[in-house]
Amino acid sequence: MTFWTYRRRDNLVGYLFVAPALLGSLAFVLIPLVLVGWYSLNEWNVLGGTFEFIGAENYQQLLNDEKLRSALVATAWFAVGLVVLNLSLALLLAVLLNQKLRGTTLFRTLFFSPVLVSLVAWTLVWQLMLQPEGSVNGLLGFFGIDGPNWLRGESTAMISVIVVQVIKNVGLNMVLFLAALQGVPAPLYEAAKIDGAGAWTRFRRITIPLISPTILLTSIITIVGSLQVFAQIAVLTQGGPGTSTTVLIYYLYQQAFQFHHFGYGATISVLLFVIVAALTLVQWRMRRKWVLHES
Amino acid sequence: MSRLLALIVTALLALTACSGSAASGPKTLRMTVWTANDAHLKLLNEIAAEYKAVHPDVTEIKFDSIPADGYTTTLTTQIAGGNAPDLAWILEESAPDFVSSGALAPIRSKVEKADELVPSATKLWEKDGELYAYPFSTSPFGLFVNTSLVKDVPAKWTWEQAMAAAAASGKGLVLPDFKYQNWAVLSAIWRGWDANAWSEDGRSCGFASAEMKDAMSFLHKAIFTDKAIPGPGTTVDFFAGNAAMAVSQISRAGALKDAKFTWTLVPLPSGPKGDYAVIGQAGVGVLKRSKNAEAAADFLGFFTNEANSAKLAQFFPSVRSSLLNAQTLAKSNPLIRPEQLQSVVVEGISKGVVKPSHQGQEELNQTIRAALDPLWKPDADVNAVLDDVCAKIKPLLERK
C-alpha cells in the first residue's frame, strides 16, 4: 500500500487550498493575539531594550488607573451617542428613500458617498470646517447664531467627533436598512391597512419586527466600530480638550506608542478585546428577544 | 491540532533564520531624519557619498525621512519592532529618555575636536561625562517681524511693546509650533519672567510659581483681551504673510526665501526679568542595538567633523566654537544679516536655555497639555489652572 492514498492526496490538496488564508490569519491575527496576551504580563522598555516578566502587575495598574476610568467614560459616551444617532438617522433616511419617487437614487448616492471617501481626508476637511471661523460657524452665523469653538469645548468636541463619524458612515447602515425594508412583503401592509392600522402602527408592528435581524447586525457593527475609532480622534482633537475625547483606543495608543509603556498598552488592548467580546456576546444572546425570526 | 502546531513552529523557525545574518562584509547604514527638504537631503547625500568613497565597505547610507509630527513615536515603534535604524536624529524633548535608557552608544571618542563644542549645548546629551549624541543643530528662538505690516521695529523690544505692536497691526503674533498643544514652545516667552516648567533637577513643578503665573497671565491677556495672539483653533501662517510677527527658531528662516513681504529678525523681546535666550536642539546618535554600530559611530564622526559641520551650518547652526561667529555664519546664511546673526544666533547659543525636557517627556507633554486646556478660554482662572497642572504632574516628576 502506498503512502499517497487518494484520501491523503485529497487532504493535501484541501490543506493547500486553505493554506494562504490560514497562514494569513495565523500571522496577522492568531500570533499577534497570543503575543499581546504575553506582552501584557511583561514590562517592556523599548529604549532600554529590557523585557521583564512582572505577572499581573499591569492588570493591577489597570484597576487603579484613574485616567483609564475617564477613558472608559469617554468611550461609553462616544459609543452611546454614535449608536443612537447613527442607527436612528440611518433608519429614518432608509424609510424616506424607500419611497417610489423621482430622485431617490440621487439622494441614496449622495448619502452613501461619504462611506467611500478616505477617512483621514474626510476628517481633515471637517477639521477646517469646525474652526471658529470655519464654514460651519459661517453657516450658523447666516441664521444669526454665534457658533462655539467646536473642537475646543469639552462637550462640543465630543459632539463634533460623533457627528463627523455619523455623517461619514450613516450611508452604510442606510443601505443595509433599505435592503431590509425592500424585503418586507407588501401584502402585510395592505392587510394591516384594511384592518385600520395607521402609518405609525404599521411601522412599529410590521416594519420593525421584520427588519430586526438587520437592526441587530447594524448595531453590532456600529458598537464594535465605535470602540475602534482612532483616526478621527487623532486628527480632530488628540484626545482633548483636557481628556474629554480620550477614548479607550486612543489611550492605548498614548500608553504604548507615545509613552513607550508597551506592556501596559498590551494590557489595555486585552481589556478592549474583552469588552468587545462581551458586548457582542450579550447582543447575540439578546437576539432571541429582539429578532422576530429567532423566537 | 498537532499539525497546526508543527506549522507554527516551522513558520517561527523560518522567521528567526532570516534575522540572524552576520555583521561582517559590506555594510549599509540607515539614518532616520525628520527633514524631507530637498536641499537638506542633497547636502546629507553629498556628505554620505564622500564618506563612501573612502570607506568601500560601507555600500549604502540611506536617509530615511519621517514626518516631524510623530517622529519619536515612529522611531520608537521601529525600535520596538526590531527594525531600529543605525543612526537617528533625536529631538531635544526626547533627549533625557534616549540618553538615560542606554539606547544610544557612546560617541565622544569618535567626535573630532570634541572639546570645542559649546558646553551649554552638549549638556543635554551627556551622562557621566560621556557624550551620547552629537548636537548637530542648535537653533535659537528669535522674533521674526513682517516689516510690510509693522514699520517701526526697534533693535530690542520689551514683551509689552511687542504685544502692543502686534495688536495694533491687526494681524497679531503667532507661535507656529505651539497650536495650543506644544506648550514647551511657550518657554520662549516665559523665560523672560524667569519661569521654569520644573526645577533644575526635574523633581519639583514650576508651573505654580509666582513667575509662571505672571507670565501666563500676560499671555492670557495678550490672547483674549488684547487680541495680539490669534486664539485657539485658528490657523494663521506667518510665512505666508498672514501674521505680523512669529516667535520661531532661526532654522525656519529658509521658509522665507520666497516671501512676498519684507521681514526682519530680532532677538526675543526682554521680559520683566531682563534679557534671555531660548534654544531648540536636535542631536544625532548611534543606536546601540545596530549591527553596524561601530561603522555608524565612525560615520557620525565624519558627518560632524569641522568641514562638514561648516557645510551643515547653513541649515543647522553648529555648536563648534570655531564656527560660532557671525562671519562664518553669514557665508551660509544669505537671508540673515551679520548683526542679526550675532545678536540672535551667536549670543543665543552661548547664553541660551534649552526648551524644557524631562524623562518620560511624552507623558508629561500630554498631561500638561490636557491640564492647560482650560487656560485657553476667555474666562479662565489662570492661577487655579496652573495649580492644577502641578497637582497633575507631581507624581510624574517624583517618579524614578
Tell me the domain boundaries of chain B: 26-138+280-353, 142-279+357-398
Average the pLDDT over B44-72 and give the result: 93
In 3D space, the residue among B76, B46, B72 whose CA is nearest the CA of residue B61 turns out to be B46
Residue B147's alpha-carbon distances to A279, B157, B205, B262, in angstroms, are 61, 15, 39, 5
pLDDT band at A78 (very low <50, low <70, confident <90, very high): very high
pLDDT band at A292 (very low <50, low <70, confident <90, very high): low
Q: Provide, rounded to the nearest whole percent, the portion of chain A with pLDDT above 70.
A: 98
Please provide the CATH number assigned to the domain covering B26-138+280-353. Answer: 3.40.190.10
Residue B254, chain A, CB below 8 Å: the answer is no
Our measurement of the distance from residue A43's CA atom to the centroid of its chain's CA atoms, rounded to an integer in Å, reads 30
Architecture of domain B142-279+357-398: 3-Layer(aba) Sandwich (3.40)
How many contacts does A have with B, using Cβ atoms within 8 A? 79
Q: To 10 degrees, the CA torsion angle through A74, A80, A81, A82? A: 100
Give me the residue from A131, A240, A241 closest to B234, CB to CB.
A131
CB within 8 Å: A47 and B7: no
Our measurement of the distance from residue B82's CA atom to the centroid of its chain's CA atoms, rounded to an integer in Å, reads 26
Strand-pair partners of B263 = B146
**Nine-digit cell string for A40:** 501584557
pLDDT at B19: 44
Average the pLDDT over B278-303 and give the result: 94
pLDDT band at B18 (very low <50, low <70, confident <90, very high): very low
- pLDDT, one tens digit per residue, over B135-155 is 988 889 999 999 999 999 998
Burial class of residue A49, CB neighbours in 10 A (0-12, 13-18, 19+)? middle
Question: B320 — phi, psi (to 5°)?
Answer: -80, 125
pLDDT at A161: 95
* Interface test with chain B among A46, A65, A127, A251, by most B beta carbons within 10 Å: A46
DSSP 8-state assignment for residue B355: P
Average the pLDDT over A9-36 and give the result: 93
pLDDT at B68: 86
Average the pLDDT over A126-134 and give the result: 91
Strand-pair partners of B64 = B32
CB within 8 Å: B7 and A26: yes
Residue B59, chain A, CB below 8 Å: the answer is no
Residue numbers of B between 344 and 373 with CB closer than 8 Å to A: 360, 362-363, 366, 369-371, 373
Residue B77, chain A, CB below 8 Å: the answer is yes
Predicted confidence (pLDDT) at residue B60 exceeds the cutoff of 80: yes
Element of type H or E holding B254: none
Average the pLDDT over B214-225 and give the result: 96
Q: Provide, rounded to the nearest whole percent, the portion of chain A with pLDDT above 90.
A: 72
Residue B103, chain A, CB below 8 Å: the answer is yes
Dist. CA A67–CA B378, nearest whole Å = 27
Buried b (16+ CB within 10 A) or exposed e, A108-145: beebbebeeeebeebbeebbebbbbebebbeeeeeeee
A188-202, B37-51, B216-230, B337-351: segment of lowest average pLDDT:
B337-351
Average the pLDDT over B101-108 and give the result: 93
Residue B10, chain A, CB below 8 Å: the answer is no
**Nine-digit cell string for B370:** 490636557
Interface predicted TM-score of the whole assembly (ipTM), two decimals: 0.81
A153-162, A182-191, B233-242, B252-261: segment of lowest average pLDDT:
B252-261
- pLDDT, one tens digit per residue, over A198-217 is 999 999 999 999 999 899 88
In 3D space, the residue among B155, B315, B165 whose CA is nearest the CA of residue B245 turns out to be B165
Average the pLDDT over B351-377 and give the result: 91
Residues 6+ away with beta carbon under 8 Å from A230: A249, A250, A253
Give me the residue from B8, B233, B370 closest to A131, CB to CB.
B233
Predicted confidence (pLDDT) at residue A73 exceeds the cutoff of 90: yes
Residue pair B352/B140 in contact (Cβ under 8 Å)? The answer is yes
pLDDT band at B17 (very low <50, low <70, confident <90, very high): very low
pLDDT at A1: 61
Residue A170's alpha-carbon distances to A75, A112, A144, in angstroms, are 19, 8, 29
- DSSP string across chain A: --S--HHHHHHHHHHHHHHHHHHHHIIIIIHHHHHHHHHTTEEEETTTTEEEE-TTHHHHHHHH-HHHHHHHHHHHHHHHHHHHHHHHHHHHHHHHHTS--TTHHHHHHHHHHHHHS-HHHHHHHHHHHTSTTSHHHHHHHHTT-----GGGSHHHHHHHHHHHHHHHHHHHHHHHHHHHHHTS-HHHHHHHHHTT--HHHHIIIIIHHHTHHHHHHHHHHHHHHHTT--HHHHHHTTT-STTTT--HHHHHHIIIIIS-BHHHHHHHHHHHHHHHHHHHHHHHHHHHHH-GGG-
Predicted confidence (pLDDT) at residue B77 exceeds the cutoff of 80: yes
CB within 8 Å: B11 and A240: no
Region of B246 on the Ramachandran plot (φ > 0 left; ψ -120 to 50 alpha; else beta): beta
Q: How many C-alpha atoms does B391 have within 13 Å on its Cβ side? A: 8
Residues 6+ away with beta carbon under 8 Å from A5: none
Q: Which residue has the higher pLDDT, B44 or A99?
A: B44
- A67-294 topology per CATH: MetI-like fold (1.10.3720)
Element of type H or E holding B146: strand B134-146
pLDDT at B133: 96
Dist. CA B184–CA B83, nearest whole Å = 30
Residues 6+ away with beta carbon under 8 Å from B1: none
Q: To 10 degrees, the CA torsion angle through A243, A248, A249, A251? A: 40
Give me the residue from B80, B102, B366 closest to A254, CB to CB.
B366
Omega cis (within 30) before B395: no
Q: Which residue has the higher pLDDT, B34 or A287?
A: B34
CB within 8 Å: A238 and B181: yes
Average the pLDDT over A271-278 and give the result: 94
Predicted confidence (pLDDT) at residue B2 exceeds the cutoff of 50: no
Predicted confidence (pLDDT) at residue B23 exceeds the cutoff of 50: no
Per DSSP, the three-state class of B43 is helix
pLDDT at B99: 93
Question: Residue A242: closest CA among chain B residues belongs to which residue?
Answer: B370
Output the average pLDDT for chain B.
88
Q: Which residue has the higher pLDDT, A278 or B332?
A: A278
Dist. CA A276–CA A228, nearest whole Å = 10
Output the average pLDDT for chain A.
91
DSSP 8-state assignment for residue B20: -
Residue pair B392/B368 in contact (Cβ under 8 Å)? The answer is yes
C-alpha torsion sign, points B354, B355, B356, B360 = negative
CA R_g for chain B: 23
Residue pair B47/B17 in contact (Cβ under 8 Å)? The answer is no
Element of type H or E holding B174: strand B173-174
pLDDT at B24: 60
Q: To 10 degrees, the CA torsion angle through A76, A82, A83, A86? A: 180
Q: Which residue has the higher pLDDT, A76 or B340?
A: A76
Residue A214 distance to chain B (closest CA, Å):
36
Please report where in the chains the cell 514626518 appears, as a residue. B67
Average the pLDDT over B277-291 and give the result: 93
Give me the residue from B7, B289, B360 closest to A49, CB to CB.
B289
Question: Residue A235: closest CA among chain B residues belongs to which residue?
Answer: B69
Our measurement of the distance from residue B363's CA atom to the centroid of its chain's CA atoms, rounded to an integer in Å, reads 17
Our measurement of the distance from residue A213's CA atom to the centroid of its chain's CA atoms, rounded to an integer in Å, reads 18
What value, to the nearest 5°, has the Cα angle with vertex B203 and ends B201 and B205?
115
Helices (H), B81-115: 95-101
Buried b (16+ CB within 10 A) or exposed e, A243-275: bbbbbbbbbbbbbbbbbbbbbbbbbbbbbbeeb
Residue pair A89/A266 in contact (Cβ under 8 Å)? The answer is no
Residues 6+ away with beta carbon under 8 Å from A81: A158, A159, A162
Question: Residue A49: closest CA among chain B residues belongs to which residue?
Answer: B103
Predicted confidence (pLDDT) at residue A33 exceeds the cutoff of 90: yes
- pLDDT, one tens digit per residue, over A38-56 is 999 999 888 888 899 998 9
Dist. CA A117–CA A21, nearest whole Å = 28
Give me the residue from B80, B360, B370 closest to A46, CB to CB.
B80
Q: What is the pTM of this model?
A: 0.85
- pLDDT, one tens digit per residue, over B164-212 is 999 999 999 999 989 899 999 999 999 999 999 999 889 999 999 999 9
- pLDDT, one tens digit per residue, over A108-126 is 999 999 999 999 999 999 9
* Single-letter amino acid, residue B264: T
Residue pair B203/B170 in contact (Cβ under 8 Å)? The answer is no
Residues 6+ away with beta carbon under 8 Å from B135: B117, B121, B122, B124, B125, B281, B282, B283, B319
